[in-house]
Amino acid sequence: MPIKTVGFIGLGVMGASMAEHLLDGGYELVVFNRTKEKAEPLLAKGAKWAETPAEVAGAAEVVITIVGYPKDVKDVYLGKNGILETKKGGYVVDMTTSSPILARRIYKEAKAKGVAALDAPVSGGDIGARNGQLVIVVGGDREAFDALKPIFELMGRTIRYFGEAGAGQYTKMVNQIAIASGMLGVAEAVAFAKKSGLNPVDVVETISGGAAASWSLSNLAPRMIRGDDAPGFYIKHIIKDMGIALECAKEMHLELPGLTLAKRLYDELAARGMEDCGTQTLIRWYLKQ
């Protein structure tokens, strides 16, 4: 039978746009967020409100979550009034960047209840979420991935299955390692351009067409130049992701000096009260602002 109702939990910077794409795509939508105010625009468009994650799970064939931290994922799925307290059959999809170990635990406990669980973290930030152009990397059973691919296609442009439970989270760690270390290069390049007296806007526009091109250079360097600290992705969340990646690397006996340095610099910014700023705020470390 075709899926009619989707539940969505977590309506933050990315989640609200992702949920709206599902509503616009013709699905009935049931939502929950810790602060109901963030759900109001979706409710005005026809979404239904649920009082708990368990209530969402009881009302929808598919439940999608994108929350802040692994502890939030654990609470939403396994805690009191959590999704797996009431979910019977159907699908659950965690799109939070979280722990591969937790993803495998949720998969196992969901399967025992006849529920197919996927870990499907996303990349692309607020811009990708608004435009339905996210990168979605998925772990879990292939049959569940195939069944939910039409839903993923409403939110993302690059959607790929990587294997058993936890594989999506491991793939996202690869992405975060590349981004975090790459942001060092982007921030250093912008700082160098400013300090050398060049017009940084012209420099970034020029080198974006060559070998230095990257998403961060094209999309976040202009924010650095403008002094725009608004979050497309929070510093506190990249710190969380880097911590997970470093824990995984330790288990693999793999040293990641670039990632270690990036986390140290971001930790310093967070200690200065910038944890709710966007990751592009790294430029302030170099400019000593």
How crowded is the C-beta side of 247, counted as CA atoms within 13 Å? 12
- End residue of a domain, out of 110, 136, 165: 165
pTM of the complete model? 0.89
**What's the pLDDT band for 254 if we cut at 50, 70, 90?**
very high
Looking at the structure, do residues 251 and 149 belong to the same domain, yes or no? Answer: no
Looking at the structure, do residues 176 and 160 belong to the same domain, yes or no? Answer: no
Looking at the structure, do residues 49 and 153 belong to the same domain, yes or no? Answer: yes
| Cβ(173)–Cβ(244) below 8 Å | yes
**Given 80, 87, 111, 172, which residue is catalytic?**
172
Looking at the structure, do residues 146 and 182 belong to the same domain, yes or no? Answer: no
**What's the pLDDT band for 125 if we cut at 50, 70, 90?**
confident
- End residue of a domain, out of 138, 165, 192: 165
pLDDT of residue 124: 87
Looking at the structure, do residues 146 and 131 belong to the same domain, yes or no? Answer: yes
- End residue of a domain, out of 125, 147, 165: 165
Tens digits of residue pLDDT in 29-80: 999 999 999 999 999 999 999 999 999 999 999 999 999 899 999 999 999 9
Answer yes or no: is pLDDT of 2 > 90.
Answer: no
Looking at the structure, do residues 160 and 238 belong to the same domain, yes or no? Answer: no
Q: Residue 21 maps to which CATH number? A: 3.40.50.720
Looking at the structure, do residues 212 and 188 belong to the same domain, yes or no? Answer: yes
pLDDT of residue 1: 66
Confirm whether 4 is a catalytic residue: no
Average pLDDT over residues 139-144: 98
**What's the pLDDT band for 232 if we cut at 50, 70, 90?**
confident
**What's the pLDDT band for 289 if we cut at 50, 70, 90?**
confident
Domain span at 122: 5-165
Total count of domains within the chain: 2
Looking at the structure, do residues 212 and 91 belong to the same domain, yes or no? Answer: no
Looking at the structure, do residues 239 and 218 belong to the same domain, yes or no? Answer: yes
Looking at the structure, do residues 17 and 80 belong to the same domain, yes or no? Answer: yes
Which residues fall within 8 angstroms of residue 137, CB to CB, at 6 or more apart?
120, 121, 122, 123, 160, 162, 167, 168, 171, 172, 175
Looking at the structure, do residues 160 and 198 belong to the same domain, yes or no? Answer: no
| Cβ(19)–Cβ(31) below 8 Å | yes
> d(Cα 22, Cα 32) in Å, to the nearest integer?
15
Q: How much of the chain exceeds pLDDT 70, in percent?
A: 100
Looking at the structure, do residues 99 and 122 belong to the same domain, yes or no? Answer: yes
pLDDT of residue 233: 86
